[in-house]
Amino acid sequence: MGVYADIGDRLIERGFAAIPIIPGTKKPGFLHAGAWVGLSNWQKRFNRGVPSEDIRARWAEGGSGVGVITGPPSHGAVAIDKGETLFYYGPTIGTSRSWKIDGKTIVELIGPGRQTVVPPTLHPDTGRPYVWTGSETLEDVAPAELPPLNADIVEAITAALKPFGYEAEPVVGSNGDATDLSPHRELNEAALANLTAWVPDLNL
C-alpha cells in the first residue's frame, strides 16, 4: 500500500483536496490496468465535492503518493516553496506565481491551479520520503487553522527580492527569444546563499 492509501482519506476529511501521485514523479496519476496513467483534469476533480469512494479506492492502488491541490479545492490552503514548502490559509490568494533570478526559481507561491506533493511521498530524485519539519502535519489541521497569508504577499516577496536582482519576467520578442533582464548571476547566488537576509522580512 502507498501513501495515498495511508493518508489520502484523512487529508480529505480535514478539507484538503488530496490526489494520487505517480511513484517516482511529481505528476498526478494512478494505476490502471497495470500501467500508470496521468490523472486528467486534476485541477477540477474536487469542483463538485469529494470524489466517490470507488474513485478514491482506485487512486490508492499500486503505491501511489499523495499531492494536495492548492487554492479553492482545499478551502483556501496555499503554499510557499523556497526550498522548504510552507502551508498557509490564503482564501484571498487568487493566483500562483514564481520568482526567478537569472533563470533560477527562488520562490514559488503555490495557489490556485497548482498542486504540491506532501510527505511521506517519495522524492523523485532522492528516492527518500519527504518529511514534515514542524510539529504538526496537514493531517492534524484544517485549512482554516493554518497560519493566515494575505493577498499582498506577492508584493512583499517582490520587494524583498529586488535587492538581489529580481526584475520583471523577460520580454519575449517576435522571434520567440527572451530578453535577459537580469544577467547578474552573482545576485542570484547571493539571494540563494543569504536566505536569512530577506526571508524574515516576509514574516513567513
Domain boundaries, the chain: 3-202
**Between vectors from CA 115 to CA 54 and to CA 95, what angle results, nearest 5°?**
130
| pLDDT tens digits along 108-145 | 999 999 999 999 999 999 999 999 998 899 999 999 99
- Would the pLDDT of 201 be above 70? no
Cα–Cα nearest to 28, from 4, 51, 54, 11: 4
Statement: residue 175 has pLDDT above 60: no
Question: CA 70 to CA 116: how far, in whole Å?
Answer: 7
Tens digit of each residue's pLDDT (9 = 90 or more) over 24-45: 999 999 999 999 999 999 999 9
- The continuous run of DSSP H or E covering 38 comes out as strand 35-38
Burial of 176 per CB tally in 10 Å (0-12, 13-18, 19+): exposed
Opening angle at CA 104, ends 68 and 193, nearest 5: 100
Q: What is the mean pLDDT of residues 53-74?
A: 96
pTM of the model: 0.82
Residue pair 121/66 in contact (Cβ under 8 Å)? The answer is yes
